[in-house]
Structure 1
Amino acid sequence: MDPATITLTVQLPTTPTRAFRALTRSSQLRQWFGDVLDYDRSLLVFGAGRQLTFISDGTIGQGQVTVFRPPSVLEYSWNNETLRFDLDAEGEETSLTFTNTIHGAEAAVIADAAGPEWEEALDRLRALFIEPPTTVDSGGVE
């Protein structure tokens, strides 16, 4: 079966370094990635070759960081999916290209459902750099 791929690009009004932090810190992931994960129980320590554990609604998923080149590329597996984030500086902004490759028998169906959800998540990511933080703590966007 051929994999299905979702590719989305968004302009972030920030530097690649700040954007990369928002992709790799649990405190920031919970602000844009959505309620998909139990962030307190998931093991999301990003680094080259690191193992990841995703806990969601009692389900445990596994993954591994396959590319870790701050602040330009982050790629990791999550069960039968690969998530890749390519960041490029463009003036005072960052162009983020997100690619979600889904493998398996239901890849096309999953991609059709996930596409709009990823668009919403990337909109929330972009908003992190536009809207002032709602709380002041060490977990905010730096």
Structure 2
Amino acid sequence: MTSFDPGPPGDATLTKADDGWTLIFIRQLDQPPEQVWTALTEPAELDRWAPFAAVAPLTAPGPTTLTMVDGDVRMDLPATVTVVDPPAVLEYTWGDDVLRWELTPAGGGTRLTLRHTLASAPGEPGLEAKVAAGWHLCLEVLNRLLNSDPVGVIRGRDAMNFGWEELRAAYAERL
């Protein structure tokens, strides 16, 4: 892996949702929405930056499986693609959570908004900061990948080697 600095915490907020809490990330990417869309929907691309592997493209509504990957440990989670409006909106469940990706043309690139609604189970304290730190790393890896400067996927316990704990603490203060 080439050198990787995840940078400081980014633009993230936490809002109350009907069924829990929604973590909102906004990032500016240099590529057009069509290129970002491919990275969000194609299994080979997702496998290069996302916290999960997809068994099929996320380009049509319906059930699928997203596999959490942590080293050699793999855990299949049921998912359902609910909204597909290329290259603007992609929404799907991930276990009990909901991920909504919104892509808007901006400044010659894309404004990416990720809304991750966390299921309203009696959760572990600080879960939102842990999720924020994980997405921060993933989105930075995605940004590098899109800029033709890939660093390799960072998932699970590997994140501890790339500033996850510091990011978690910073997002805990912020959120």
The TM-score by the shorter chain falls in which range?
0.7 to 0.9
Q: Is the Cα–Cα contact under 8 Å of residues 43 and 55 in structure 2 kept in the other structure?
A: no
1:55 aligns with 2:55: no
Matched, 1:125 2:146: no
- Give the Cα–Cα distance (whole angstroms) in 1 for the partners of residues 22 and 44 of structure 2: 28
Change (3 A) 1:10 1:130: same
Does the C-alpha gap of structure 1 residues 32 and 133 become closer, same or farther in structure 2, counting only changes over 3 Å? Answer: closer
Aligned residue for 2:48, secondary structure, equals: helix
1:51, CA displacement in angstroms? 1.1
Alpha-carbon RMSD: 2.1
- Structure 1's 51 and 19: CA in aligned 2 closer, same or farther, altered over 3 A? same
- Asked which structure has the greater RCO (Cα within 8 Å, sep 6+), the reply is 1
Identity of aligned residues (%): 27
Q: Secondary structure at the match of 1:14?
A: coil
Distance 1:107 1:21, change over 3 A: farther
What is the aligned counterpart of 1:94 among 91, 110, 123? Answer: 110
Shift, 1:61, TM fit:
0.7
List alignment gaps of at least 5 residues for structure 1: 135-142
TM-score normalised by L of structure 1? 0.81
Specify whether residues 50 and 91 from structure 1 end up closer, same or farther in structure 2 by C-alpha distance, changes over 3 A only.
same
**How far apart are 1:52 and its partner, in Å?**
1.4
Out of 80, 95, 106, the position equivalent to 2:96 is: 80
Shift of 1:2: 5.2
1:70 aligns with 2:82: no
Write out the 4+ residue segments of structure 1 that deviate beyond 6 Å after TM superposition.
none
Deviations along 1:28-48, whole A, 9 cap, x unmatched? 111111xx43x3xx4232133
- Cα offset for 1:133? 6.1
Structure 2, gaps ≥5 residues long: 1-17, 152-175
